[in-house]
Amino acid sequence: MIADRMQGFEASGIRKVFDLARKIKNPINLSIGQPDFDVPDEVKEEAIRAIDSGFNRYTITQGIPELSKKILQQTKLDKGVIADDIMITSGVAGALTLAFLVLINPGDEVLVPDPYFVSFKHLIKFCGGDIKFIDTYPDFELTPSRIESYVSPRTKMLLINSPSNPTGVVCRPEHLNEICEIAKKNNLIIISDEIYSKFVYDTPYQSIGKFHENTLTCQGFSKSYAMTGWRLGSVIGPKNIINEMIKLQQYTYICAPSFAQMAGIKALDIDISKYVEEYKMKRDFMYNALKENYRVTKPDGAFYLFPQVPWGTDEEFATRAIDNKLLVIPGSVFSEKQSHFRLSYAAPFETLQRGVEVLNSLVSR
């Protein structure tokens, strides 16, 4: 009865932990990959105005021009991205899904750095693509030398997520040009998932879309403005690819939510620097509190740590943590390895302190 294409799909390991959270009284929840602040009031007010004024119908498929123009202008100014075409999508997840469906033929190879965001693997396989996982352990750096050894005549695409979920590592600016040279030499499309690009703590963020015109730069409002449930994103890239994605969106998502698009215009004017600074402090607190007992790379951005488990497998360790009311995600949800776990520091300081106490008590088996 069920189509064969669903054979490789399993329930997300993240959702399994979310389900557990509902059953535990007063859990220490470091599993949630969304901001712990609310949508800014000005953005909520703009959404309410849009709804009250009757802006509740379908928009044009590619998104309202006012939002598209503003995103494109800011992206060119802030990141120097060189592509000119843009569409508004139902979150970055919607952008990635459309891009994969439009670009991947059965048997095409897609290079995916490991660790990776959970949906990448399943969506690529859903489209018939063959994944080559680029091993970036132990430092999680995506370097030109690591990429080059995986390229073959069937390789069509390189997927970059910077800052990374689950590691928080940012692709080094000094590597971007060389990565682009590899892409140009091998006629590769680059898809750059930049959902966390506003949460970068130590150096200015650089987008690979600044250096390679055959890049799809995917951005969203979910993390920066806490609009996770509003499903609003965008993708900037070559006109021929964007046109095909718009065509496909007509028959799938139709358009991004109308009221969210209006609110997105307002969101782009909001200064979120106080949240960025707060997450930098939380990053430093968690890293300093754990680095003596865990092998952990200090993240450059996003709001995650990806420590190595001190004993056993990732699932064994995560199960023991859950027995102590601490919710973290086994690293194999994001990787072909079973050696790490992900925690999110997008949580109140009190929760982080409780989490550190449990984690440091679990070092010995």
35 and 45 share one domain: no
64 and 124 share one domain: yes
151 and 215 share one domain: yes
- Provide the CATH number for the domain around residue 16: 3.90.1150.10
Closest CA to 296 of 331, 265, 250, 348: 331
Check residue 238 and give its pLDDT: 97
Asked whether the beta carbons of 99 and 119 are under 8 A apart, the reply is no
58 and 200 share one domain: yes
53 and 195 share one domain: yes
68 and 152 share one domain: yes
54 and 64 share one domain: yes
pLDDT grade for 2, boundaries at 50, 70 and 90: confident
Q: 122-155, pLDDT tens digit by residue?
A: 999 999 999 999 999 999 999 999 999 999 999 9
Q: 344-358, pLDDT tens digit by residue?
A: 999 999 999 999 999
Range of the domain at 131: 41-267
157 and 306 share one domain: no
User: Of the residues 217, 241, 267, which one is the last residue of a structural domain?
Assistant: 267
87 and 184 share one domain: yes
User: Of the residues 267, 295, 319, which one is the last residue of a structural domain?
Assistant: 267
Check residue 351 and give its pLDDT: 97
How far is 80 from 340, CA to CA, in rounded Å? 35
194 and 299 share one domain: no
Q: 48-98, pLDDT tens digit by residue?
A: 999 999 999 999 999 999 999 999 999 999 999 998 899 999 999 999 999
Number of domains in the chain: 2
How far is 27 from 356, CA to CA, in rounded Å? 13
Backbone angles phi, psi at 200, to 5 degrees: -130, 135
pLDDT grade for 1, boundaries at 50, 70 and 90: confident
Query: For residue 16, is pLDDT > 70?
Result: no
Closest CA to 346 of 36, 127, 135: 36
pLDDT grade for 4, boundaries at 50, 70 and 90: confident
Check residue 123 and give its pLDDT: 94
Tokens coding 72: 């494109």
182 and 45 share one domain: yes
Closest CA to 221 of 253, 191, 266, 252: 266
Q: 249-289, pLDDT tens digit by residue?
A: 999 999 999 999 999 999 999 999 999 999 999 999 999 99
Check residue 3 and give its pLDDT: 86
pLDDT grade for 211, boundaries at 50, 70 and 90: very high
Query: For residue 14, is pLDDT > 80?
Result: no
Asked whether the beta carbons of 155 and 63 are under 8 A apart, the reply is no
Query: For residue 18, is pLDDT > 80?
Result: no
77 and 154 share one domain: yes
Q: Residue-wise over 190-205: b if at least 16 C-beta within 10 A, else e?
A: bbbbbbbbbbbbeeeb
* Full-model pTM: 0.94
- Provide the CATH number for the domain around residue 214: 3.40.640.10
User: Of the residues 233, 267, 301, which one is the last residue of a structural domain?
Assistant: 267
For residue 120, count other CB atoms closer than 10 A to its CB: 22
> Mind giving me the DSSP string for 196-263?
TTT-B-SS----GGGT-SSEEEEEESTTTSS-GGG--EEEEE-HHHHHHHHHHHHTTT-SS-HHHHHH
